[in-house]
């Protein structure tokens, strides 16, 4: 484990503890990219969609009633699997710079995330998304 990975992991833990959410960091690991060939199990993907939907509900994105209801259905596990990621991606694109960052390389995405304002980053960290950026990035590829 290199020095940068330890520093990033420590900063993530401290940020989560500062928000009183230390439990979400219990499974934190470095942002080192995993092999692209690894497949995500459907149950894990379902949980990730629910976590991302909850995080997006807590961000300062201005949502209309239909978007809020759609995200709430995803967070509750009531949305159809084929519509889940399209809705999440459409709403996540309201985060400043998200579409460009996801469309680029992982290093570009990582730089964008590091420069992202805390009001956008805090809900993602609380949901445990900020601890594994590579998986988050690959979900939108």
Q: Where do the structural domains in the chain lie, given as residue ranges?
A: 41-139
At residue 77's C-alpha, the angle toward residues 72 and 82, to 5°, is 95
The CA-based dihedral angle spanning residues 97, 65, 129, 41, taken in that order and rounded to the nearest 10 degrees = -110
86 φ, ψ (degrees, to nearest 5): -65, -45
Are the C-beta atoms of 34 and 134 separated by less than 8 Å?
A: yes
pLDDT digits (tens, 9 = 90+) for 116-130: 888 888 877 777 776
What is the mean pLDDT of the segment spanning 80-86?
73
Q: Which residue has the higher pLDDT, 4 or 67?
A: 67
Are the C-beta atoms of 95 and 61 separated by less than 8 Å?
A: yes
**Whole-model pTM?**
0.57
What confidence tier does 16 reach under pLDDT thresholds 50, 70, 90? low
What confidence tier does 132 reach under pLDDT thresholds 50, 70, 90? confident
Are the C-beta atoms of 83 and 77 separated by less than 8 Å?
A: no
Q: How far is CA 136 from CA 69, 117, 131, in A?
A: 23, 18, 9
pLDDT of residue 23: 45
pLDDT of residue 84: 79
pLDDT at position 18 over 60: no
pLDDT of residue 38: 47
Q: What is the mean pLDDT of the chain?
A: 73
What is the mean pLDDT of the segment spanning 7-13?
59
What is the mean pLDDT of the segment spanning 21-40?
47
pLDDT at position 81 over 70: no
């Amino acid at each position: 484990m290199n020095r940068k990975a330890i520093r990033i992991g420590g900063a993530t833990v401290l940020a989560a503890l500062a928000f009183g959410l230390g439990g979400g960091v219990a499974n934190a690991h470095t942002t080192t990219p995993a092999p692209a060939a690894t497949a995500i199990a459907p149950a894990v993907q379902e949980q990730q969609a629910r976590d991302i939907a909850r995080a997006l509900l807590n961000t300062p994105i201005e949502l209309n009633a239909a978007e809020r209801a759609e995200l709430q259905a995803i967070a509750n596990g009531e949305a159809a699997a084929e519509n889940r990621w399209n809705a999440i991606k459409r709403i996540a694109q309201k985060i400043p710079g998200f579409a460009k960052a996801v469309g680029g390389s992982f290093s570009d995405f990582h730089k964008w995330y590091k420069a992202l304002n805390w009001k956008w980053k805090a809900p993602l960290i609380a949901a445990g998304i900020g601890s594994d950026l590579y998986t988050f990035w690959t979900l939108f590829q």
